[in-house]
Amino acid sequence: MSNISLEIRIKKILEELYPSIKLTIHIEKYISNIHTFFVKFPSEAALTKDWENLSNSIAVYYQSQLPDEFEIWNLYLFYITDSNADKHLKYRIENDTVSSRKILLTYDREINDEFITSIVEEHITNKNLKLLPPEKRSDAQKTEFERNPLLWQVIEQSGIIEDKKGVVKSSAVLELLEQKIKDEIQKS
C-alpha cells in the first residue's frame, strides 16, 4: 500500500469519526519520512473529549501500516486550538507517550504550508536554530580564560608535551591529577 493511499484512507477515517476537526497530514523528508498530523479542534471541550481516541485511531489505522521502525517511532500529532487550553490538559496530552509525540498548540488561523514548516522546524528538525560562534553572538558573555594553578602544575610535571609533535601521556596526567586531588582533600 503506498503512502498516498494510506494518507487518503486515514484522512477519510478520521474525518468520519471526528467530523468537527480540521486535519492536515504532512510528511517531512528527513533521514526517512517523519509523519505529522495537524489536528485543529473547534473547542477545548472537543479536544478534551477526542484527543486520546483520535491518537489511538491514528495508531491503529495509520501508524501500524508504516514500513519501518524509524517511521513508526517518528510520528507527531499537533493538536491545535484557537485559545490556550487548560494547563492540566496540556500536561496530560504532551506527556502521553503511547504511540506518538503529541504537542498542543494555540493558533487561531487556518493551517497552511508556512505554519506547518515553522512548526516542523521548531519541534522536529530544529532547522530554525541560528547557531553562531560565541564571538559573533551579540548576547555572548565574554570572559577571560583563567588557568587553574593545580591543573597547570600537573600538566607541567606530567611531561604532557613530550616533543614538538605534542604527544600526550594521558595516563601520567591522570595519575598525577588523581594524586594532587587526593593531596588537596587531605589538606582540607
How far apart are the C-alpha atoms of 176 and 178, rounded to whole Å? 5
pLDDT band at residue 165 using 50, 70 and 90 as cut-offs:
low
pLDDT of residue 180: 85
| Banded model confidence at residue 16, pLDDT cuts 50, 70, 90 | very high
Q: Per residue in 29-71, pLDDT tens? A: 988 999 999 999 999 999 999 999 999 999 999 999 999 999 9
Between CA 16 and CA 48 the distance in angstroms is 18
Q: Which helix (H) or strand (E) holds 184?
A: helix 170-187
Backbone phi, then psi, for 62, in 5-degree steps? -125, -60
Does the predicted model carry a pTM greater than 0.75?
no
pLDDT on residue 53? 97
Mean pLDDT (whole number) for 17-28: 96
In DSSP terms, 81 is beta-bridged to 106
Cell of 173: 596526567
64-112 pLDDT per residue, tens: 999 999 999 999 999 999 999 999 999 999 999 999 999 999 999 999 9
Q: How far apart are the first and last CA of the chain?
A: 71
Residues 121-136: tens digit of each pLDDT: 999 998 877 776 666 6
Residue 115 has pLDDT above 60, yes or no: yes
Neighbours of 118 (CB within 10 A): 12
- For 114-172, the DSSP string reads HHHHHHHIIIII-TT-----GGG-TTPPP------HHHHHHHHHHT---STT----HHH
Structure confidence at residue 106 (pLDDT):
96
pLDDT bracket for residue 143 (50, 70, 90): low
Cβ atoms 51, 75 nearer than 8 A: no
pLDDT of amino acid 167: 57
**Cβ–Cβ < 8 Å for 29, 21:** no
Query: What is the Cα 167 distance to its own chain's centre?
Result: 39
Q: Which long-range contacts (CB under 8 A, 24 or more apart) does 110-113 make?
A: 111/22, 111/24, 111/38, 111/40, 111/80
Dihedral angle sign, alpha carbons of residues 167, 170, 173, 177: positive
Look at residue 1 in the predicted model and tell me its pLDDT. Answer: 44
